[in-house]
Structure 1
Amino acid sequence: MKATVNQEERKRISIRTKEALAAKKARGEKPGNPRLDEFRNTDTTNARQAKIEKSIAFKDRVKAVIQSEFPESMNYSKPR
């Protein structure tokens, strides 16, 4: 029963999407995100650096937890 309802909803979503795209085309607009070029041409250096810093901070927090819970696991020498 639920699968049938979900299938009907998918059909209705598909119909609404096709109608919206046809209406947009009739108005002479391009389909898709109208502001996408703004985001594509944005310098992502700061975002990349923030992601790296966030990753390092997460690694340090995880390492601190591991060291506090399993101090013996940090006392090993790397194989040669």
Structure 2
Amino acid sequence: IEQTIDLNQIRASINDTVRDELTEEYQGSALKTAMQCLTGVAGANNVPADFCEKQLTKQRSVNWAVLPDKPSPVDGTVRPFAVIITIR
């Protein structure tokens, strides 16, 4: 029995899985944490003020990196997509 494997079809079938939900949640959390530190609303959602103070003053830079898979609008293939926030 011959069987062909369409990688794009497999990728499409695993979209909206637990991994994707966790990736999206992590991305939202990283962006929210960075914005809370930048805008001075630390303390909301359990982001301690001393965490932001340390990140903003005692380290040269802080990076939050998020690597969700986003399908290409051109051909539908999944390529790595990175969101990196740097606070200097």
Whose radius of gyration is greater, 1 or 2? 1
The TM-score, its normalising length taken from structure 1, stands at 0.34
Higher relative contact order (CA 8 A, sep 6+): 2
The TM-score, its normalising length taken from structure 2, stands at 0.32
Q: Which structure carries more strand by proportion?
A: 2
Q: Which structure carries more helix by proportion?
A: 1
